[in-house]
Amino acid sequence: MAEVKGPKGSPTIDMTPMVDLAFLLVTFFMLSANFRSDEPVVVDTPSSIAAEEIPKNIVLITIDKGGRVFYGFTAGEEARKNLLIKMAAKYKVKLSQDHLKKFSLLTSFGCDVHQLPQYLDLDPEARKKTTGSIPTDSTNNQLKDWINFGNIEGLAAGKIKFEEAADKDPEVEMNEFKPKFILKVDGKALYSHAKNVIETFRDLDLNNLNFVTSLEANGEK
Amino acid sequence: MADMGDSGGGQSGGKKRAKKGSTRVDMTPLVDLAFLLLTFFVLTSTFSKPKVMSLVYPAKPKPDQVVDAQAQKINNAITFLLSENKIFYYEGEYYSAGNPKGKPATQLKETDFGPSGVRKLLADKNKSVIIGKAKLKAELDSKKIQEHEYLDGLKELKKADEALKVLIKTDDKAICKNFIDLVDELRIHEIGVIAPVDLLASEYELIKAKTK
């Protein structure tokens, strides 16, 4: 009977399957991840049972705890540039090409349109520290113009997309490409703050609004 | 894969046996790196995409349009009034004290967001729609009706006279979370007509008296 001998080499573990697994997971998360977009404020949205996802072409109004109002527009860089050109023309704000470029990459912002050049000159971290808000009071309702021009630009951008899609599939409807109006409100904000913004929308005859909510955790209630 | 072994060493007569151990690649740093990346992506990715809840506000009357509040009489309505963390409601129309119709003045009732509060109230008041929906659903499941018929039927049910209509009024202290919670609750109970409207001054007085 031969004696059973243990293996001679060092007792290393074969890590190949582990590496395989780890990289598989890395790949999965890399592909499935959609990063948090850089927002000027953290907003804690209330939860609801709503299951609709946020559409692509939106005018997003963010209201934080203290009632500051932010404006975002996601119809694409070109549309954002056009929007700013219109706003600047209306409020007679002088902007450089560099400002336009920066604005076209901005997700959401909160400041008076007259301070926009200075705001755009700041770097993204410094912008978060500003305390501005988009004026919504009736004497100086800049939000109304932002929304109105956003709607016009959003419709134009949506129309181009719609025509492209209609070439491939004649059954698509224009409605899907129209800009939607989204309110992202902090749960702790006073409703009267939101109401100001809602009234602005209603003044423009835009009555179909959407509230951003997080998905209700199961068994929470 | 990484285990190359020394299979090629046997041909030269067994004299050149410089290396005895296996030529495995040490994979520990690779694993470290992989898990580091993994952790990074797990922590930064947002899985639950935020959802949206749509709400249609009543259109503002045109300036030249005369609003006749009495003309839009609502049969079966509840008005919810929100203030701070409290929620009040009354049923039917609002009657101030000493109104010409001789109806008793409206009293606010207080309720809460718990299961025995708003939820129970709505389930009771909106029974016709909830039962009707269950019937339609059963028909849909047994393939008696088509999907679009089901959706149309549901729409009809929600618009019917006996379906509950809800008005939401908020005072200056109401917070958004409560408003959205309430709309959410209304959605759960299949209420089709939800109208956020302005608070009357007399109602404000009633809330004030209640919250003191």
Q: Read off the amino acid at residue B131.
A: I
Q: What residue ranges do the domains of chain B occupy? A: 77-126+165-211, 128-163
Please state, for a pLDDT cut of 90, what percent of chain B lies above it: 0
In chain A, what percentage of residues exceed pLDDT 70?
A: 90
CA-CA distances (angstroms) from residue B97 to A20, B103, B108, B178?
Answer: 77, 8, 13, 29
Contact B125, B186 (CB under 8 A): no
Q: Mean pLDDT across the stretch A56-68?
A: 87
Q: Are residues B82 and A191, on separate chains, in Cβ contact within 8 Å? A: yes
Q: What percent of chain B has pLDDT over 70?
A: 80
Q: How confident is the model at residue A192 (pLDDT cuts 50, 70, 90)?
A: confident
Q: What is the ipTM of this complex?
A: 0.77
Q: Are β-strands B165-170 and A69-73 bridged in parallel, bridged antiparallel, or unpaired?
A: unpaired
Chain B neighbours among A 148-207 (CB < 8 Å)?
180, 182, 184-195, 198, 201-203, 205, 207
- The residue type of A11 is P
Does residue A200 lie in a domain region? yes
Confidence category of residue B9, pLDDT binned at 50, 70, 90? very low
Gap between the Cα atoms of A150 and A164, Å rounded: 21
Tell me whether strands B51-56 and A52-53 are parallel, antiparallel or unpaired: antiparallel
Cβ–Cβ < 8 Å for A143, A197 = yes
Answer whether residue A179 is part of any domain. Answer: yes
CA A202 – CA B203 distance, rounded (Å): 23
CA distance, residue A118 to nearest chain B CA (Å): 31
Closest CA to A51 of B189, B49, B157, B155: B49
Would you call B38 and A22 a contact, using CB atoms and an 8 Å cutoff?
A: yes
- Which residues of B fall within a CB distance of 8 Å from A39? none
- Return the CATH fold of B77-126+165-211: Nucleotidyltransferase; domain 5 (3.30.420)
Across the interface, whether the CB atoms of A210 and B184 are under 8 A apart is answered no
Q: State which amino acid sits at residue A37.
A: S
Alpha carbon of residue A80 to chain centroid: 13
pLDDT greater than 80 at residue A11: no
What distance separates the 2 farthest-apart alpha carbons in chain B?
119
Residues in chain B with CB shorter than 8 Å from the CB of A217 are none
On whether any CB of chain B is under 8 Å from the CB of A27, the answer is no
CB pairs under 8 A between A and B: 169
**Does A213 sit within 8 Å of B183, measured CB to CB?**
no
Looking at the DSSP bridge assignments, the partners of residue B194 are B166
Domain with A120 in it: 47-127+139-215
Give the pLDDT score at A220. 42
Asked whether the beta carbons of residue B22 and residue A25 sit closer than 8 angstroms, the reply is no
Region B86-106 average pLDDT: 77
* A11 part of a folded domain: no
pTM: 0.75
Q: Provide the domain count of chain A.
A: 1
Partner residue facing A191 (CB), from B30, B49, B170: B170
Q: Determine the Cα–Cα distance for residues B203 and B212; give it in Å rounded to an integer.
A: 14
pLDDT at B178 over 70: yes
Cβ contacts of A126 within 8 Å, gap of 6 or more: none
Per-residue confidence (pLDDT) for residue A219, from 0 to 100:
40
Provide the mean pLDDT of chain A.
83
